[in-house]
Amino acid sequence: MTTKHTYSFILLALLLMLCFVVNISLGSVSIPFTEVFYSVLGHSENESWQYIIQDYRVPKAFTAILVGSGLGISGLLMQTLFRNPLAGPFVLGISSGASLGVALVILGSGLFGGVFASILISKWSIVIAASLGSFLVLLAVLLVSSKVRDTMAILIIGLMFGSITAAIVSVLAYFSSAEQLQQYIFWGFGSLGNLSWNELFIFFLIYLLGLLLALFSIKALNTFLLGENYAKSLGLNVKKSRFIIIIATSLLAGTITAFAGPIAFIGLAIPHMTRQIFNTSNHKILLPAVFLFGAIAMLICDSIAQLPSSDYTLPINAITSLIGAPVVVWLLVRQRKMVF
């Protein structure tokens, strides 16, 4: 790592801290900046402010960091593994699997009758349904892909499973009430709030496992830059590395979708942004850079979604694309050449 990159990393880390502070000081209830600081430390005299900061805004900011960094990293893994700049964390059908699980709970609950339905639609049941859904779809993709040698075939298989689940969701949606449909659509908007510290802890544990697997794949990812036959000639176990990369992605993207909904765009765009700015394909630099960029981007998007001093919170999914897409277009136009 050169000194040029060291400075960039220090700058990004500082920016991340700044975004974190700005993020927790913004919200529908306006709290003076010094009070925000005191509340974090637990010294605020205003109890409700302290509650808002400690049990809502800080966990939400941490969620944003996990979601942004996790989706960015899983997008990077998929883009390198599939040699495809259009790949993202959800190419293997993870989000469609989660959607199917949630759709079965929310939309399918009508089929089980009214009383049962109200028990079913708790937050944990949605988290579990999303996890189960993405896990099952991924399992199917892995089983089928263990039969094929070509990595590109896995990509197509993932897309096909995505289409199948999307079709089932449409059928369910067709037969459900307007109220259920609205609830399902709200889940689809994504949400960073609503996570308690306990839930955040479980989220973090699974995220950490995925992150560790991603870190252990850095060398393999760099070898994949040469192509699979070269990777093999360098002593890399291509099948095993491919498996670890897919598991890392599904742990990261799967938990994120389970806890925060299908957050679009970040996973596709952040790796591109990072490559354009750092102008490198070396994953030793890209991975930590994507981590920081992803976390920063998500904090900024969440801050915007808060619409300072307003009673409404905009859907996070709309903000990520609305803000992010022009930035990526601008970066590509400015550099005139896509770094991949």
Partner 1 sequence: MTESNTHNILKTKNLSIGYQTKKAATVITDNINLELKKGELIGLVGANGIGKSTLLRTLSTIQKPLEGLIAINNIPLENYTALELAKTMSLVLTEQLMSKNLSVEELVALGRQPYTNWVGNLSEVDISAVHKAIDQTNLSDLKHRKCFELSDGQLQKAMIARALAQDTDLIILDEPTTHLDMYHKAYILKLLQRLAKDTNKTILFSSHEIDLAIQLCDTIIVMTNDKVVSDSPCHLIEQGIFETLFPNDLIGFDQKTGSFRVKK
Contact residues for partner 1, defined by CB under 8 A: 83, 215-216, 218-219, 222-227, 229-230, 232-237, 275, 279-282, 284, 339-340
Count of other CB atoms within 10 angstroms of residue 218: 16
Q: Among residues 40 and 209, whose Cβ is nearest to partner 1?
A: 209
CA 49 to chain CA mean position, Å? 29
Q: For residue 325, which of 335, 315, 314, 317 has the smallest C-alpha distance?
A: 317
Q: Among residues 7 and 216, whose Cβ is nearest to partner 1?
A: 216
Q: Where are the alpha helices (DSSP H) in 279-315?
A: 283-305
Q: For residue 267, which of 53, 74, 37, 5 has the smallest C-alpha distance?
A: 74
Question: Which amino acid, one-letter code, is at 340?
Answer: F
Smallest gap from Cβ 282 to partner 1, in A, equals 6
Q: Among residues 116 and 340, whose Cβ is nearest to partner 1?
A: 340
Smallest gap from Cβ 201 to partner 1, in A, equals 28
Q: Among residues 54 and 281, whose Cβ is nearest to partner 1?
A: 281
Smallest gap from Cβ 87 to partner 1, in A, equals 13
Smallest gap from Cβ 338 to partner 1, in A, equals 9
Q: Diameter of the chain by CA atoms?
A: 65
Residue 104 and residue 125 in contact, taking contact as beta carbons nearer than 8 Å: no
Smallest gap from Cβ 216 to partner 1, in A, equals 7
Q: For residue 74, which of 262, 319, 237 has the smallest C-alpha distance?
A: 262
* Nearest-angstrom CA–CA distance, 320 and 82: 24
Q: What are the tokens at 204?
A: 């973090």
Smallest gap from Cβ 236 to partner 1, in A, equals 7
Q: What are the tokens at 316?
A: 């996070």
Smallest gap from Cβ 273 to partner 1, in A, equals 15
Q: Among residues 50 and 274, whose Cβ is nearest to partner 1?
A: 274
- DSSP-based three-state secondary structure for 77: helix
Strand locations in 24-180, DSSP E? none
To 5 degrees, how large is the angle CA 151–CA 153–CA 157?
125
Q: Among residues 196 and 233, whose Cβ is nearest to partner 1?
A: 233
Smallest gap from Cβ 245 to partner 1, in A, equals 14
Query: Counting Cβ atoms within 10 Å, is residue 228 exposed (0-12), middle (13-18) or buried (19+)?
Result: middle
Q: Among residues 32 and 227, whose Cβ is nearest to partner 1?
A: 227
* Nearest-angstrom CA–CA distance, 233 and 214: 22
Q: What are the tokens at 107?
A: 């939309």
Residue 8 and residue 281 in contact, taking contact as beta carbons nearer than 8 Å: no
Q: Among residues 205 and 234, whose Cβ is nearest to partner 1?
A: 234
Q: Among residues 199 and 228, whose Cβ is nearest to partner 1?
A: 228
Smallest gap from Cβ 149 to partner 1, in A, equals 11
